[in-house]
Chains A and B, each alone.
Chain A
Amino acid sequence: MALELHALAQAVDDLSTNAAQRLADLDRRLPAIRALLKTIGVAGEELRANIQAALRARWAGAIPTAEAVDAAYPLPPFPARVNILAADGSQIYPDRHGVALYYLINIGSIVFGHGSGEAPRTRSKPEVFFQDADLYEEDGGQIPVQQIDMKRDQRELAELAQLAEADRSVPTVALLDNGLLLYYSLQAPSREQIAEALGPYLKSLDRLKACGAAVAGVVARPRSAGVARLLHLSTLERDEIDRHAELFQSSAAFRQVTDFQLFDFLRPGERSAIFESGSPANLDHYQKAGHSIHFFYLNAGRLGKDSLLRIEVPEWVARDIAKLNLVHAAIVEQCRITDGFPYVLMRAHELAVVTVAERREFEQMVTGALVRRGLTPSVSQKAQGKAWTATGKRWYP
């Protein structure tokens, strides 16, 4: 065993002490912060003006809609017949120490015909990328893994659009195991790269909208703090907002507060109010394309076991009460099967995931193909060494 566990005993003890202290500190502050939700209620003119000022400074908080921010909406009825789609992706990143340079993306998807009495339709679509244009950027460097993640995310949404277009005969909910704000769009170095990445993604949202499906991204254990930022903003004076410094320095009262902790009042089946994401990426790109990302929190658990999820939807779902209720009810119904997270998303992940054994088999396929071409593939000595030592040390007393 390489990891000397006994050497970490004190650090693990300190870690648990630290976690307990942090929780106690949060517990002291949270009642007052939660009370702020009630003081806001339906956002008034002054708060909205302050939000607009903050957005001009690229503040990334939650923008209230017409719903009271502390509202809780009960579980709507679930139609007898609904198609629930889900897609998820996984990948093998390029490995310069491997037998060949390539990467692989595998998309798993499921069409769950709720009320159909039929077995769901499932599929896995693997793609391997090995051309220079796939692997290298214009400056000759290998593409960063974030771009591979972005391509995977694009394909997940395109898969949902394709499945939704194939059957428009019944109401359809399409679910992704992530937020709808493409992660790459939050971190790409330039607006041009963001726009290039978002083009196909926004087109898939167009297709989903056109065929009448309701799309939603599901985030378990969310770490977002958009509503917490809104509450912080509500405590600031206008001149403090205009000075920006206060706006971006979370005060001690709001430190480490996430939205997750604010909505623990939701009972099983209830959703929170809807908010619009104030993220600059959302306002610059998604909103301009008619897909501004909105979100709400949903307790998809049961009595005795809460399960708070963050649900992201585009504006055309958020503003269409029938679609919104369909998303709300479908997610709760799906979570009922698997005790807190949608069944279809668990299955889509299962269909997408590339296991260690499958990766090994694929690498053997590649090696075999290279050998048949007269090549002599080999892994680097470093990779070989890792393979030799990965099973752990042997101790000889």
Chain B
Amino acid sequence: MTELTLGRLLRSSTTGYVFGCKIPEADAPCFGDFVKAPAQRGQTEVIGLVYDLAISDDGFVRPMATADLPEEVILDQRNNRNVPIEVSVLAVGYKNGAGFIHGLPPQPPLTLDTIRTCTDDEVRAFTERSDYLRLIAESAEAPAEELLAVAVQRAAAVRPPAERERYLRKAGRELAKLLSRDLPRLERVLSRIQPNR
């Protein structure tokens, strides 16, 4: 994946951020995507995983929900009106001059900072180690099991086909350590990332 500008930051904390996005559906971020936001005046980039996409209504749209609408109205509401998709991101690490670090960033990004997708190279480099899985597993906000499975699959998908199975087995071993005290949960996640699934 090449780098794509997704939107601008609405609110943030060290554990995550929410950004607004109004790009067409085909380019809109998906659950489990790796994204990045600048922080500390550009000295760091906060790496995160998309875990929720919410589309709010407003007083104008609500009465139209049950109407038989012309196509032009639907396109107007989707393409022209400034009603963003709100995308929630779980912070799982950051990048500074020393490289990628798995852990919470020193500072969150600021309002209206630009959010971009991580490139395949960045995702590959960030997921060389699996410490970021701990932050997902311990998240109270994100649906952890689903996000763990999708993140590992994304990380495998950016690797050459010959390396994918090896990566998935390695990630499975990390997850086994992380979730060893909750075997039903471990089983659900592992079943989602089985190499031959």
From B72, B75, B78, B80, contact of A114 by CB (8 A): B72
Q: When the two chains form their complex, are residues A112 and B63 in contact, meaning their CB atoms are under 8 A apart?
A: no
- Shortest beta-carbon distance from A125 to chain B in Å: 16
Interface contact A120-B70, CB-CB below 8 Å: no
With A and B bound together, what is the CA distance between A321 and B130 in angstroms?
74
Smallest beta-carbon distance A225→chain B, Å: 31
Contact A337 B76 (CB under 8 A): no
Partner of B70, one of A110, A114, A346, A350: A114
With A119-B80, A122-B80 as known contacts, state yes or no: A337 contacts B73, CB within 8 Å: yes
What chain A residues lie within 8 Å of B76 (beta carbons)? 110, 112, 119-120, 122, 347
Say yes or no: B72 contacts A113, CB within 8 Å. Answer: yes
Chain B residues with Cβ under 8 A from A343's Cβ?
Answer: 73
Question: A116 at the A/B interface (Cβ < 8 Å)?
Answer: yes
**CB <8 Å contact, A120 and B60:** no
Size category of the binding interface on chain A: 10 to 19
B61-95, CB < 8 A from A = 63-64, 67, 69-73, 75-76, 78-81
Residues of A within 8 A of B60 (CB): 346, 350
Q: How far in angstroms is the closest Cβ of chain B from A301?
A: 13
Q: Are A337 and B64 in contact (CB under 8 A)?
A: yes
B72 touches A116 (CB 8 A): yes
**Cβ-closest chain A residue relative to B75:** A119
The dominant DSSP class at the B interface is helix
Contact, CB under 8 Å: A337 / B69: yes
Flag if A339 contacts B73 (CB, 8 Å): no
Q: Is the CB of B73 within 8 A of A117?
A: no
Complex interface: chain B residues within 8 A of A347 (CB): 76
Verify A339–B72 contact, CB threshold 8 A: no
Q: Is the CB of B70 within 8 A of A338?
A: no
Type the 1/0 row for A321-341, where 1 means its CB is closer than 8 Å to any CB of B: 000000000000000111100
- In the complex, A118 has a CB within 8 A of chain B: yes
- Residues of chain A within 8 A (CB-CB) of B69 are 337
Q: Shortest CB–CB separation between residue A334 and chain B, in angstroms?
A: 10
Task: Write the nearest CB–CB distance from A344 to chain B, whole angstroms.
Answer: 9
Q: Could you tell me the distance in whole angstroms from the C-beta of A304 to the nearest C-beta in chain B?
A: 14
Per the bound structure, the CA–CA distance linking A117 and B70 in Å amounts to: 8
Residues of A342-392 whose CB lies within 8 A of B: 343, 346-347, 350
* Minimum CB distance partner of B63 in chain A: A339
Complex interface residues of chain A between 201 and 251 (CB less than 8 A to chain B): none
Point out the residues of chain A lying under 8 angstroms from B64, CB to CB. 337-338
Residues of B within 8 A of A122 (CB): 76, 80
Contact A118 B63 (CB under 8 A): no
3 nearest CB pairs, A to B: A119-B75, A119-B79, A120-B76
